[in-house]
Amino acid sequence: MTDRRLTLMAVHAHPDDEATGTGGVLARYAAEGIRTVLVTCTDGRCGDGPGGVKPGDPGHDPATVAAMRRQELEASRDVLKISDLEMLDYADSGMMGWPSNDTPGSFWQTSVEEGAARLAELMRHYRPDVVVTYDENGFYGHPDHIQAHRITMAALEMTALTPKVYWTTMPRSAMQRFGEILREFDEDMPEPDPAEAAAMAEIGLPDDEITTWVDTTAFSGQKFDALAAHASQGENIFFLKMGKERFGELMGMETFVRVKDSTGAAVPENDLFAGLR
């Protein structure tokens, strides 16, 4: 052990991903004096525009959306007390199958080697003790999430660093409960078709395959406020409808799979920094 400040690096695809998947751990570890570094890979230009206008619809201006989402990201950073924000500023690729997947300069069209080289430089600068990103399917198949996973794992191979490495996930038990609560707050929501339901059932992992359960209940208010900073994005409105108390009940535990470790800390564990302090 040294006197060097412990550092967490979270590599995310879009503005608002930091709040959804890791808002609790970012807030918790910042409060514990750990340096928190957020790397956001894209500019979010394929998100909703002002007034909820969707990509491809009249009035959706990607440059305006990107600027708006950058401001929202800065506000979320302030809420979560993130120490350092790094933007790779690739163009948002949109959902899988969208024409924007093929746009030159989009993250999905960027070579893994190029993105990884830039990220490796940031890793050498910050020397993270813990790195968090998505699994190889980007949790739910979004191209930018998949690409964030690829460049993170490649960047680690380019450096001599040996951080603990985690992929975000959700326990299947929580995914089922999430679906029930979603319908509770939106009574008009149609039942998913069988194929969609089957795909949803494959998201996340069986509870016994999750290595790391971090209780962030005490920081769920900050996580809620960070999502509120991204309120322009329609997918966040559901969470905000819950109110802070119910949100904390549902979103107070953040879960991960540990995929690289040199500490020998036993699993299951309740701390990303187990074995490091």
Given a cut of 90, whether residue 243 has pLDDT beyond it is no
Tell me how far apart the alpha carbons of residues 17 and 210 are, in angstroms, rounded to a whole number.
20
How far out from the chain centre does Cα 65 lie? 19
Q: What is the mean pLDDT of residues 157-186?
A: 83
Helix-helix angle 143-158:112-126, to 10 degrees: 60
The SS3 call for residue 57 is coil
As given in the structure block, the two tokens for residue 228 are: 């509120």
Strands (E), the chain: 7-12, 35-42, 84-90, 130-133, 164-169, 212-215, 253-260
Sequence-distant (≥ 6) Cβ neighbours of residue 195 within 8 angstroms: none
Query: In this predicted structure, what is the pLDDT of residue 249?
Result: 85
Percent of the chain with pLDDT over 90: 74
Round to the nearest angstrom and report the end-to-end CA distance of the chain.
8
pLDDT tens by residue, 109-161: 999 999 999 999 999 999 999 999 999 998 888 999 999 999 999 999 999 99
| Confidence grade of residue 26 (pLDDT, cut at 50, 70, 90) | very high
HSE-CB at 88 with a 13 A cutoff on CA atoms is: 30
pTM of the entire predicted model: 0.92
Please choose, from the candidates 89, 100, 111, the residue with its C-alpha nearest in 3D space to the C-alpha of residue 40.
89
Query: In this predicted structure, what is the pLDDT of residue 48?
Result: 93
**Average pLDDT for the chain:** 91
Given a cut of 60, whether residue 245 has pLDDT beyond it is yes
Tell me how far apart the alpha carbons of residues 150 and 133 are, in angstroms, rounded to a whole number.
10
Q: Are 26 and 37 in contact (CB under 8 A)?
A: no
